[in-house]
Structure 1
Amino acid sequence: MEPRLGTFRVLGFWHASSSISTIVTCPWIGFNFAATVFGGCHKLEPLPAGKKAMWTREMDCLLSVCDYIVEFYPSTQTLPDGTKVEVMATRPRSDIYINLPALEKLDAMLISAMMIRSCATDGAGHSGQLPEGGVLARKDLQQRRDCANQIHKAAVAINSGVLGDMEVPESFTAVLPKDVGQAILESYSRVLESLAFNIFSWIDDVLFVDRSIRKLNDNLKP
């Protein structure tokens, strides 16, 4: 595994034999992982531990490519004899340095929003109604809904920024990333954008059903 992983990171190919460019491979891998992990999620419920571990492990592997995407900048180095010379040092490329940590934070927040099993979900039962006295449960769900909405907006903004930096014709920006780093940032932000929208919708479904049932119960009371 390690030799192939090293080839993937340094040389920019997932399979050296077939010479598949990382620009094409990385987005495909990201979308494929997302479909595997989140494809079976159709409502607000905790993500299984196995899938959560797989998502963290595989995304860490995929994003490690960005460790090798750097830019040069002039720096001063002091030699043993005290002589100072100017050299070119490396640092993470600015777009990756800014956007990748932000996307990873959004990722953690979204997974956290899913990892709940409280009266907000368990107490709903078959009726979909939150339990009596579940004011805290509703407040918690509302906060998570607002959080998911903000994460969705942030992911959309990052995606738009990455696409805006791609020096290619507008008609090709969706399918022709400029380089590996932008390909990873663009696909990662799209995955999180979709997940945030789903969580937002699932929470809305729970709150809507709860409001509807409570309104119906109030109307039936003598």
Structure 2
Amino acid sequence: MNCSGGGRSVADMDMVKEKFSKLLLGEDMSGSGKGVSSALALSNAITNLAASVFGEQRRLQPMAPEQKARWTKEIDWLLSVADFIVEFVPSRQVAEDGSTMEVMITQQRRDLLMNVPALRKLDGMLLDYLDSFSDKQEFWYVKKNDNESEKGDAAEQSDKWWLPTVKVPPEGLSDSTRRWLHHQKELVNQVLKATMAINANVLMEMDIPEAYMETLPKNGKSTLGDSMYKLITDDYFDPEELIATVDLSNEYNIVDLKNRIEASVVIWQKKMQRDGKWGHGVSHEKRGRFEGRAENVLLLLKHRFPGISQSALDISKIQYNRDVGSAILESYSRTLESLAYTVMSRIEDVLHADALAQDPKNGDSMRMPSLTTDDTDTVVQDAKDEMGRLGRMEPVNSTLFDYVGPRDGTIETMILGSQDPQGKKLSKISKIGTKRYSYLDKLENLGGARSPISRH
């Protein structure tokens, strides 16, 4: 953080003092000690900064220079806290007489050392992708209050009434532009997957608050309901069958299903820790199988609906977390995840307008951006493979962590299989690491993905 010289530096220094004084006071400017924890104050600061900078990103266009400069400068201030979160590690030193000795030195905590540089590079990649959408594109936007002839397919976007309407030529986009947009969507999709993976693992590491535990019923059956409980504990289990029993046409129902399943898993885990058994005549093996089934359903929901709000468990963990390092990683990855999802949604809007121009019958196509359309077995197996490689710190070929590179030095460039000369290359990012690599414990490295908070 360089604040030397010039009037601008003095103003920056005053702003830094104000921001960090609020963080130290826990957002309670009265000084009475009734503020929130330092971790939550820092999490809120990153969240609010992202909301103010990215909240108006309603079009596929480069960020305003002043907004980009503000984000780059202020996120650097907030992330600087992570530089002072350290741990002791052994190091060999050579004495003057040539003898060696092992001493303990401090270095940045391992999860921060690996993930903060990775998130910074993901951040830069997202801003670069936005910069690629200049005013010379074949699509444009019209305001909602324009006349009917200019609105075109506005009626088709009534579910996004706050967004300007996308317009494309009457015959649709050219083949080269269409290919380029699909290419950009895939690049952003990879960033979305990376940020979701980091965020899911950070949240998994956070302790479950006692306040959340106190809100839970005594058994998982009452949380799930008789019919859903029967489906999970039956001899034959099909996640698709369980999901089909719930109306997932609106976000409230999706979040409610996530809340119920997560609550049941926590209840089962608590019963095992307290009693060493679960119910009457239910073995540890069966209990693990049922818990794994519930996790499979959660994984499918997170992959199919990446843009939904956080669950009650996630919100509770963030609220009661006291680890400042975890708060930095969680809030930074969540805001980047939300921005990536927003950009992908805007690309989907353009592709949808193009599909309508080619054939009006495509009105229902591509309305819900999703990370995957694969079947259940493929989603679950890919997640297991991906998180298993993470656990061994191995890059994943051709998908998420194929784009992993060194933390320092020049960012290498991946050769992507696109023939479009306009296609931007995807830069490699730092390796992503956390302490554990499963979404919840005891599930054979099955990874999950969390949804960005709704206010972004």
Normalising by structure 1, we get a TM-score of: 0.82
Match for residue 117 of structure 1? 134
- Greater Rg over alpha carbons, structure: 2
- One-letter identity of the residue aligned with 1:63: L
Is the Cα contact below 8 Å between 1:72 and 1:88 reproduced in 2?
yes
Match for residue 210 of structure 1? 354
Is the Cα contact below 8 Å between 1:168 and 1:178 reproduced in 2?
no
Deviations, residues 90-125 of structure 1 (Å, cap 9, x unaligned): 12211111211221121111111211205435x546
Aligned ranges for residues 1-222 of structure 1 at < 5 Å? 1=13, 8=20, 13=24, 18=31, 21-115=37-131, 116-117=133-134, 119-120=136-137, 123-124=139-140, 128-129=167-168, 134-169=174-209, 171=313, 172-215=316-359
Deviations, residues 25-57 of structure 1 (Å, cap 9, x unaligned): 211111111111111121211110110111111
Displacement, 1:185?
0.3
Is the Cα contact below 8 Å between 2:61 and 2:135 reproduced in 1?
no
- 3-state SS of paired residue (2:104): strand
Is the Cα contact below 8 Å between 2:172 and 2:355 reproduced in 1?
no
Is the Cα contact below 8 Å between 2:38 and 2:322 reproduced in 1?
no
Deviations, residues 134-155 of structure 1 (Å, cap 9, x unaligned): 3222222111111222222221
Displacement, 1:63?
0.8
Displacement, 1:85?
3.3
CA distance in 1, matches of 2:20, 2:96: 37
Segments of 5+ residues of structure 1 without an aligned counterpart are: 217-222
Is the Cα contact below 8 Å between 2:63 and 2:130 reproduced in 1?
yes
Displacement, 1:133?
7.0
CA distance in 2, matches of 1:106, 1:161: 17
- One-letter identity of the residue aligned with 1:48: A
- One-letter identity of the residue aligned with 1:199: V
Is the Cα contact below 8 Å between 1:23 and 1:183 reproduced in 2?
yes
CA distance in 2, matches of 1:174, 1:23: 9
Displacement, 1:3?
11
CA distance in 1, matches of 2:352, 2:121: 29
Normalising by structure 2, we get a TM-score of: 0.42
Q: Give the direction of change, closer, same or farther, for the CA distance of 1:49–1:136 in structure 2 (3 Å limit).
A: same
How many matched pairs? Answer: 212
Is the Cα contact below 8 Å between 2:91 and 2:104 reproduced in 1?
yes
The structure in which a higher percent of residues are helix is 1
- 3-state SS of paired residue (1:58): helix
Deviation beyond 6 Å, 4+ runs, structure 1: 14-17
